């Protein structure tokens, strides 16, 4: 079974910007639940349909298939749940791994997250100086959740939910 093993981090400064070039991504979800997602993505001039299973630790099943760009555009416009994720992804090779830095647009503007895919969950990696807090286990930072609960609304949601202290 194809498996994605990924760690996510916040980005704390702009030192990465000179290290890679960006590609615009637009993606949406046909199915978006904690146990599975079915995503449509246009990345530059290519399009994909991706099926992902539930996350266990930092791993999950992942199946990805190329599809025609015009099909992806139709799916994004007609069948995907609102809201679409828009971002520019930068690829940076450092220390034997590829970092993917996502700078979000639209309702997630202001959020920058770096991901690194690993060969196994215990793989050691050197963290570049522009890497901040790890958010691998914080579901708010999953793209599927950002489509339902955009970053621009997090402060508003925290006010509505009230204090989070435990008595």
Classified as helix, coil or strand, 110 is coil
Residue 48 has pLDDT above 80, yes or no: yes
| Mean pLDDT of all residues belonging to the chain | 92
| CATH code for the part of the protein at 3-157 | 2.40.320.10
**Do 101 and 119 form a contact (C-beta atoms < 8 A)?**
no
pLDDT, tens digit, for every residue of 53-93? 999 999 999 999 999 999 999 999 999 998 999 999 999 99
Is residue 52 within 8 Å of 61, Cβ to Cβ?
yes
CB 38 within 8 A of CB 18: no
Interval 124-150 mean pLDDT = 95
154 or 29, which is more confident?
Answer: 29
142 counts as catalytic:
no
Q: Looking at the predicted structure, is the pLDDT value of residue 35 above 50?
A: yes
Q: Where are the domains of the chain?
A: 3-157
Q: Which of 29, 90, 141, 142 is catalytic?
A: 29
């Amino acid at each position: 079974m194809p498996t994605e093993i990924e760690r996510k981090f916040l980005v704390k400064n702009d030192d990465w910007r000179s290290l890679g070039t960006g590609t615009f991504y637009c993606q949406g979800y046909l199915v978006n639940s904690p146990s599975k997602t079915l995503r449509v993505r246009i990345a530059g001039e290519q399009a994909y349909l991706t099926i992902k299973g539930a996350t266990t630790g930092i791993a999950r099943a992942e199946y990805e298939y190329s599809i025609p760009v015009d099909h992806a555009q139709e799916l994004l416009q007609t069948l995907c749940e609102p809201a679409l994720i828009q971002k520019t992804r930068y690829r940076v090779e450092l220390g034997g791994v590829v970092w993917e830095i996502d700078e979000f647009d639209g309702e997630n503007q202001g959020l920058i997250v770096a991901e690194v895919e690993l060969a196994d969950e215990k793989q050691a990696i050197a963290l570049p100086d522009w890497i901040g807090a790890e958010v691998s286990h914080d579901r708010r930072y999953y793209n599927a959740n950002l489509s339902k609960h955009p970053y621009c609304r997090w402060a508003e949601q925290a006010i509505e939910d009230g204090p989070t202290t435990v008595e």
